[in-house]
């Protein structure tokens, strides 16, 4: 990529989503003041935009502290995409009740948000808005846009979305469970280099077994235990080949430049059908 090439970032739209907020964090670390943003309707579309060279980077959700791993992202890494993780950031998820600037809470007849936004604020809604109709939207940002246009609709979104669409925050931190966080990944094509340095490095692998046999997972975990490598995530996913056929995602602290990590990878490659390195990257 030459210096004159435009930098484009694909993300799950519309603007104002938590993913868009993560885009701004990555752009800041990359020193990008005004990258071209490409709104996508799904994480599959984000991966396709990067894989086909339409966009320089993509931003996708990896894991949520309440909902667990984002399976669409994992499946793309394992089965569909050649993209790799270039960096990772963790975003605190704080839901707000957002309304039209002239709205009165007594006039609110509908609560709009993404299904997860509504589910994660159920206690607040039952206490403050019992019996109100729920409207499921494609994103939390869309609910902020609707609220900004209709004083009878309240949205559940972040403050960033409220500011983006001209709504106002009426109540903050309305989620039922505090500590809600989502991990977002910056992805790019293999060989893409970024100028971000950080002491905290992580690596993600997709591991495919030669055959399904007893003790395979124990063997994999033992390699990391012997090397004293701290695992941060172990997740199984079906290979989509036949019932009962699984592969594993492993995530750990450390870089593929570390000698002990290289030793573990060499041992695993001798024992497994495929060891796919999905990225060795800084945590911002």
Q: CATH code at 243? A: 3.30.70.260
Range of the domain at 43: 8-93+180-188
Q: Are residues 44 and 184 in the same domain?
A: yes
Q: Are residues 143 and 46 in the same domain?
A: no
pLDDT 10s digits, 217-252: 889 999 999 999 999 999 988 877 777 678 899 999
Q: Are residues 142 and 245 in the same domain?
A: no
pLDDT 10s digits, 150-197: 999 999 999 999 999 999 999 999 999 888 899 999 999 999 989 887
Q: CATH code at 162? A: 3.40.190.10
Residue 2 has pLDDT above 70, yes or no: no
Torsion angle of C-alpha atoms 9, 86, 31, 22, degrees rounded to 10: 60
The percentage of the chain sitting over the pLDDT mark of 70, rounded to a whole number, equals: 97
The average pLDDT across 121-150 equals: 94
Can you give the pLDDT at residue 48? Answer: 97
In a domain, 236, yes or no: yes
What is the DSSP track for the chain?
--TTSPPEEEEESSTTSHHHHHHHHHHHHHT-SSPEEEEESSHHHHHHHHHTTS-SEEEEEEEETTTEE-HHHHHIIIII---EEEEEEEEE---EEEE-TT--GGG--EEEE-HHHHHTTHHHHHHHSTTPEEEE-SSHHHHHHHHHH-TTEEEEE-HHHHHHHT-EEEE----SSTT-EEEEEEEE-TT-------S-EEEEEEEE-SS--TTHHHHHHHHHHHTTPPEEEEEEEE-SSSTT-EEEEEEEES-TTSHHHHHHHHHHHHHSSEEEEEEEEEB-
Q: Please report which confidence band the pLDDT of residue 198 belongs to, taking 50, 70 and 90 as the band edges.
A: confident
Q: Around Cβ 85, how many Cβ atoms within 10 Å?
A: 22
Q: How many domains does the chain have?
A: 3
The average pLDDT across 264-279 equals: 94
In a domain, 1, yes or no: no
In a domain, 195, yes or no: no
In a domain, 265, yes or no: yes
- Check residues 33 and 46 and name the one with the higher pLDDT: 46
- Check residues 256 and 13 and name the one with the higher pLDDT: 256
In a domain, 2, yes or no: no
């Amino acid at each position: 990529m030459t210096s004159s090439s435009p930098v484009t970032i694909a993300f799950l739209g519309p603007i104002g989503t938590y993913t868009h907020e993560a885009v701004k964090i990555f752009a800041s670390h990359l020193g990008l003041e005004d990258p071209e943003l490409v709104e996508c309707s799904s994480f599959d579309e984000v991966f396709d935009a990067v894989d086909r060279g339409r966009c320089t980077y993509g931003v996708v959700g990896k894991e949520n502290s309440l909902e667990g791993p984002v399976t669409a992202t994992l499946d793309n890494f394992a089965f569909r995409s050649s993209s790799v993780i270039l960096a990772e950031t963790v975003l605190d998820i704080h839901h707000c009740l957002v309304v039209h600037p002239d709205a009165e809470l007594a006039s609110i007849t509908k609560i709009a948000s993404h299904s997860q936004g509504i589910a994660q604020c159920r206690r607040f809604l039952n206490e403050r808005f019992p019996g109100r109709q729920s409207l499921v939207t494609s994103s939390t940002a869309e609910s902020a846009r609707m609220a900004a246009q209709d004083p009878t609709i309240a949205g559940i979104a972040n403050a960033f979305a409220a500011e983006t669409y001209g709504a106002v925050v009426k109540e903050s931190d309305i989620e039922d469970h505090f500590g809600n966080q989502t991990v977002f990944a910056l992805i790019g094509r293999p060989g893409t280099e970024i100028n971000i340095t950080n002491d905290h490095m992580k690596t993600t692998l997709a591991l495919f077994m030669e055959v399904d046999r007893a003790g395979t997972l124990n063997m994999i975990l033992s390699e990391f235990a012997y090397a004293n490598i701290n695992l941060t995530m172990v997740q199984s996913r079906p290979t989509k080949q036949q019932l009962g056929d699984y592969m594993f995602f492993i995530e750990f602290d450390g870089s593929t430049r570390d000698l002990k990590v290289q030793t573990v990878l060499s041992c695993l490659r001798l024992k497994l059908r495929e060891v796919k390195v999905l990225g060795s990257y800084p945590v911002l």
